[in-house]
Amino acid sequence: MNTVLNPFVIKEYVSKEFFCDRKNELFTLHRNVKNGTNTTLISPRKMGKSGLILRFFEDFSTNNRVQPIYVDIYSSRSLKDFIQLMAEAILIKFPEKSTIGKRFMNMLKKLRPIITFDPYSGIPQIEIGFQSSHEIVYTLQGLFTFLEEQNVPILIAIDEFQQIGVYPEKNVEAMLRTYIQPLKNIQFIFCGSNKSMMTEMFLHAKRPFFGSTRLLYLDKIDDDEYKKFIKYHFENRKKQIDDEALSLILSWTKSHTYYTQNLCNYIFSAKNNMVNTNVVKQAMADILRENESFFFQYRQLLTPNQWKFLIAVAKEDQISQVTAQRFIAKYEIGTPSNSRRLLKSLIEKELILENTSTDKPTYQVYDLFFSRWLQVKY
């Protein structure tokens, strides 16, 4: 435990101990696996999807009931990349020395891959020189068939799944659906954050994946659970934190996982053994100052009107009616159609988050620290 210096993890998942709550979501994931249902996991960025998957996988580490495989396809740009990442993930799960790993290597070798292993982490990297697009498709099918034939229950989580939408190959979605559908021994979790693209893919009646999975929308962690978690980790390391400080943390971060973890990590790293609201306020100011040069860069990427609009949304903190006269007049946005156009362009750039989990959509600046910075700066 002592190897983790700060209990508020802001990088990859570490272990159960540093993971807060998500009991309901874990229950749902277990239920889906038991019932042979595939899951689509969606949330805004940095809410904790990847963490949840890795936390879920930990439940299978002590038994062989299901063999979990995690593939992050964020870096992929084509079907070829997808296949290589899949193959690497399979090799991580079933190393060459294992029975399945040996069989997998034999299959892989027929494709004359270049396989290298990172000297420090041992993580494999696979490069396959495909001869034709036909061979690519054939290999994709081959990977799934191979896993299916091992006769062990396998759970594959494909993270950043929306990435398949940018592949140049046609019909990737339909192709994957076709190969995935008949599999009996393999279940899937499709995970992604580009909400509109993911929901389009899975909830639109005309799309291949429609109706094939259960949707799990990952929301914020419950405030009481988060407070307990934060308090526990401070006290566990002989630090005190008062209730007002806890409330201030969660209201400032809107309980969004990454920002809460980040702020707590910062506060924890400060020398104070008694955390009150003053300590929290100091940490907030420090974080914003640290990120300032980064925030200014956003400005270079935007037109003056987009910038003005972003400040307006930040100032409102959260807004539902961007075409309302009050909003347009107050921030000199021009016309309702102007406002709508600016909103659309900033949602596309992922600078504004559209929250559709309530009956009326609301909008806020996506990066919460950036939003807080705009609020105090302008």
Q: Select from 32, 39, 40, 43 the one that contacts ligand ATP (CB under 6 A).
A: 43
**Orientation of helix 223-236 relative to helix 257-269, angle to 10°:** 20
189 binds ligand ATP (CB under 6 A): no
Measured CA to CA, the distance from residue 25 to residue 41 in angstroms comes to: 10
Three-state DSSP at 186 gives strand
Contact 19, 55 (CB under 8 A): yes
> What is each CA distance from 104 to 6, 112, 130, 132, 135, in whole angstroms?
39, 13, 18, 22, 18
Task: Choose from Mg ion, ligand ATP, none: what does 76 bind? Cβ within 5-8 Å by kind.
Answer: none
Q: Select from 33, 40, 42, 46 the one that contacts ligand ATP (CB under 6 A).
A: 46
Q: Select from 2, 11, 36, 358 the one that contacts ligand ATP (CB under 6 A).
A: 11
| Sign (positive or negative) of CA dihedral 139, 140, 141, 142 | positive
C-beta of 248: minimal distance to ligand ATP in Å? 19
Measured CA to CA, the distance from residue 342 to residue 340 in angstroms comes to: 6
Structure tokens at 243: 């209730």
Window contacting ligand ATP (CB under 6 A); options: 48-56, 83-91, 268-276, 361-369: 48-56
Beta strands in 63-205 (DSSP E): 67-72, 114-117, 124-127, 154-159, 186-192
249 binds ligand ATP (CB under 6 A): no
Q: Which residues contact 110 (CB under 8 A, 6 or more apart)?
A: none
Nearer to ligand ATP, 38 or 43 (CB): 43
Window contacting Mg ion (CB under 5 A); options: 47-55, 75-83, 277-285, 304-312: 47-55
Nearer to Mg ion, 100 or 157 (CB): 157
Window contacting ligand ATP (CB under 6 A); options: 49-57, 289-297, 326-334, 355-363: 49-57
206-225 residues near ligand ATP, rule: CB under 6 A: 221
C-beta of 81: minimal distance to Mg ion in Å? 18
Containing 204, the helix (H) or strand (E) segment is: none
C-beta of 201: minimal distance to Mg ion in Å? 17
Nearer to ligand ATP, 8 or 144 (CB): 8
Nearer to ligand ATP, 49 or 93 (CB): 49
φ, ψ of residue 238 to 5 degrees: the values are 60, 35
Window contacting Mg ion (CB under 5 A); options: 42-50, 242-250, 274-282, 305-313: 42-50
Measured CA to CA, the distance from residue 252 to residue 264 in angstroms comes to: 12
Burial of 277 (0-12, 13-18, 19+ CB in 10 A): middle
50 binds Mg ion (CB under 5 A): yes
The residue whose Cβ lies closest to ligand ATP is 48
51 binds ligand ATP (CB under 6 A): yes
Structure tokens at 261: 């973890």
C-beta of 204: minimal distance to Mg ion in Å? 23
Interface residues with ligand ATP (CB under 6 A) are 9-11, 13, 19-22, 43, 45-51, 193, 221, 257-258, 261
Interface residues with Mg ion (CB under 5 A) are 49-50
